[in-house]
Structure 1
């Protein structure tokens, strides 16, 4: 696989994954096509060495793993972690707002998006819907309107002369997007629109009452190349679907002789405290079933190594003073090791050395990021998972500009560079010579 082929696969994944539910469904399809067997948490598991499995929770988090034919569980796992969610606008349960002749939808802010970037964009709706069926069961259905459907118009500068000097955004008043207009005031409600879309996308399901939904606005513009030589990739949800794609591709193409595991969690952008988040029980519940007893589990975790993947900040050419002057990060210059003295990232000197050693085997030199000492630092699921499992961990990611914007930017070579290092990690024996230092 070359870079162009890899990016084509990434673009397809980004386009088909407007929500964590769609990303999880896409990963399920990929895993099944690569020989992974689905497991259910409420069933008994009969696992065999040399085989690969996956399990999902709440349609939005996935754990996939291979029990290597040449390794026992106590030998440990080469583990990967990423998250399926991105900052966005989530539709409220009773969303319909009628203002004059306009039909708008009430929204909540999910995570920490750059809200200004959501104005004047072609937006769409997608998510999951729970409804009854004609046999009185519950059906969980994915829905995607898959067309430009909504917009949040900016107020004209004539009404806000200070717009270019900095304008505060009222999350309650300024964010409801427009979805329709009717001069006769007969505006369709969202439930009616959803029913019509569900009938189109799930014609075989005879559903009755629509009970609840998790719906999100998303940028309808697809991913694409920018720059004279197509040296950049612009897309929504690079944070963190880029890492999910790296993980699933590397795991799917890894050989089955070694123990490997991928954890794609939900709700990282709002704190990870949920049944599907890194603070939840999902990863523990799976690991408990892979080891026969507590001692075997502790031995396995002690022999394991976790690469937590989440996008890293690149140096912005218009704001170079925001970067530590000795740790500026550039696009297309290699994956980024993220370091923080206060453990906002889980990287240690040992875990950094292990990853650098792996990168060196394929002639890739990683970059190293630290935040300016006078600015607060973000975090990800690396420290959470490391603390929960007691496992050696490194936080890395592809360099990114405009993180948390509705459109983010990375280098066209960065996803493939990250993939190559992760693929090498899953194949290499490098980390074993360092694990017991």
Structure 2
């Protein structure tokens, strides 16, 4: 019999459902919006005039979502409490001319997005999903969630040096997946296939944003099922936790001294510089319009921003049992040890001492442990949307997350209890 978990696994079960339903950033924000709709949130359009009414609202823009809940009687200068995250993950994305192939194989031309562990995409059954732009100006989501493509690895018999020299992959030549057989390549085959899959007439699709994904579903792993393996945990784990926390706070009926916000951006893996990225105007525009819709002035906006705190939630690195020397010797985050606080004095993470105190208070209120991550001084440190949010908006920001293994792999690994612990910490942060 499996050892019982201290925590409810219902949240983790729902995370696995969320991961499966969200093969792309566009699907992830649709999944988040569906959950928020059930909690009473309503979508508002950026092109409409906004009213200062109370309640839950959200804006969708491509692969990004910003949602917020205005308590009854909130003043124009009421500060925000923000959970920040990102919806994109490293993968293989379809090029503008997707149809290619040679030597009797039909292939799909792909470009490398972000910094994937490229070997993890080899010999894996892949589906295809994304957003189709139609001739009439509308868009349609598509998800072929079955084995469709595969990036075949070269047999060892034809690469005898691979065991001695290691696997070396050329991004242009070695990662183009096969999806069928044929001696001739016809432009338009892939898009015609997707039009059929989406129930569209031929020629309706004039643009696309498509990407591959592993079709293997998330699964519990380990002797006591204390681990979870699955795709896109970096960073849909945080998007899911933030969505769950915002919905819980909005439906709690508690008095809220702040306006709770979820901001899940696209394009973090490539630098966040887009209209849907954290370095774009989306978050600042939404927060300002919320202030002004409640009759606020620029002075009210300045007061609100000055009192605002953002938790930038992204996955971090658990200590790897086979590579422990790559970690800082005094900071060894473990899975199922609670969320991590990320610190870097060179501002690759935005956390400072006052931010640590805010997060520590939330974890204490939620009665959960937390850990600290610091990079080994001999290794370069990654970064997040945290420093970008702090610098762009002048908002106090704290970097946190969940410790995982295999970050940027097609399939990552986390503790089964940590997603629920993170969500509990976010609830306590949004509802202090």
TM-score (normalizing by structure 1): 0.92
Equivalent of 1:370 in 374, 379, 388: 374
Corresponding position of 2:177: 177
Deviation at residue 3 of structure 1 after TM alignment: 2.2
Deviation at residue 188 of structure 1 after TM alignment: 7.9
Corresponding position of 1:317: 321
Change (3 A) 1:12 1:304: same
Change (3 A) 1:253 1:362: closer
Q: How does 1:2-151 map to 2 (within 5 A)?
A: 3-49=8-54, 51-58=55-62, 60-69=63-72, 71-132=74-135, 137-151=136-150
Q: Is the 8 A contact 1:20 1:85 kept in 2?
A: yes
Q: How does 1:32-431 map to 2 (within 5 A)?
A: 32-49=37-54, 51-58=55-62, 60-69=63-72, 71-132=74-135, 137-164=136-163, 165-182=165-182, 189-199=189-199, 208-254=203-249, 255=252, 257-258=255-256, 259-291=259-291, 292-428=296-432
* 250-259 or 93-102, larger mean C-alpha shift: 250-259
Q: Is the 8 A contact 1:180 1:187 kept in 2?
A: no
Deviation at residue 78 of structure 1 after TM alignment: 1.3
Deviation at residue 187 of structure 1 after TM alignment: 9.9
Deviation at residue 206 of structure 1 after TM alignment: 6.1
The alignment yields a C-alpha RMSD, in angstroms, of 1.7
Deviation at residue 68 of structure 1 after TM alignment: 1.4
Task: Tell me the SS of whatever aligns to 1:416.
Answer: helix
Q: Is the 8 A contact 2:99 2:186 kept in 1?
A: no
Structure 2: runs of 5 or more not aligned: 1-5
Q: Is the 8 A contact 1:64 1:263 kept in 2?
A: yes
Equivalent pairs, count:
417
Q: Is the 8 A contact 2:83 2:242 kept in 1?
A: yes
CA deviation vs aligned residue, 1:265-304 (integer Å, no higher than 9, x gap): 0000000000000010101111121122211111001111
Change (3 A) 1:84 1:172: same
Structure 1: runs of 5 or more not aligned: 200-204, 429-437
Distance in 1 (alpha carbons) for counterparts of 2:156 and 2:202? 47
Distance in 1 (alpha carbons) for counterparts of 2:173 and 2:96? 17
TM-score (normalizing by structure 2): 0.93
Change (3 A) 1:305 1:154: same
Deviation at residue 2 of structure 1 after TM alignment: 5.7
Distance in 1 (alpha carbons) for counterparts of 2:225 and 2:38? 31
Distance in 1 (alpha carbons) for counterparts of 2:125 and 2:145? 11
Q: Is the 8 A contact 2:106 2:181 kept in 1?
A: yes
Deviation at residue 398 of structure 1 after TM alignment: 0.5
CA deviation vs aligned residue, 1:350-405 (integer Å, no higher than 9, x gap): 00011112211232221001001111000000110011111111100010001000
